[in-house]
Amino acid sequence: MRCHYCDTAYAFQGGSMMDMDDIMETIKKYDTHYVTVTGGEPLAQKEVLSLLKVLADQNYDLSLETGGGISIKEVDPRIKIILDIKTPESGEEKKNHWENLNLIHAKDEIKFVLCSREDYDWAKKILDQYKLTEKCHVLFSPVYQKLNATDLGNWILEDQLPVRLQIQLHKLLWGEKPGV
């Protein structure tokens, strides 16, 4: 699990779990009010729900980036959810927990990370089928070094989709380095 605001992995160090006090002390070292919990699949760690509650109770603005394969039902309603929908070319489409789309609120975001024009066309169908842009903000992101961001931007403009183009900024800045 990662807290993005300071680009440091927290919950696991050398295979051992940090306790909540250690995590909170690390977070308090930074002058921030916004914390994003991500990295791998945070919801695979049941303790993440407690961490999110503690952070929300201490008035942090929070977002949870989830791969979308695990139910978000138990996530504290104060948390902004950024939910991935896995595309066919990702090879993970079967992992999508489609019931999550019924739990999304206006404050949340849905993100498609697209590998190709075929993924883009598939994502447009999902947008329409589930009326996603009526539920929350939707992001389309090109896979780093696979789909050209300019091409994706042009497709979005040509189709006049009400989505935001998002690049994988962490990969643009730091490449494929693990733990960054």
For 9-68, how does the pLDDT look when each residue is reduced to its tens digit (9 = 90+)? 344 444 446 788 888 888 989 988 999 998 779 999 888 999 999 999 999 999 999 999
Whether residue 78 sits in one domain with residue 125:
yes
Q: Which of 65, 13, 21 is nearest to 40 (CA)?
A: 65
Q: Which of 66, 101, 117 finishes a domain?
A: 66
Whether residue 160 sits in one domain with residue 86:
yes
Which residues span the domain enclosing 151?
71-180
Whether residue 43 sits in one domain with residue 94:
no
Whether residue 142 sits in one domain with residue 170:
yes
Three-point CA angle 100, 5, 72, nearest 5°: 10
- What pLDDT is recorded for position 173? 82
Whether residue 164 sits in one domain with residue 145:
yes
Whether residue 59 sits in one domain with residue 76:
no
**pLDDT tier, 170 (very low <50, low <70, confident <90, very high otherwise):** confident
Question: Please, are residues 68 and 100 in contact by the beta-carbon 8 Å criterion?
Answer: yes
Token pair in block for residue 78: 């104060």
**pLDDT tier, 176 (very low <50, low <70, confident <90, very high otherwise):** confident
**What is the domain count for the chain?**
2
pLDDT tens sequence across 64-102:
999 999 999 999 999 999 999 999 999 999 999 999 999
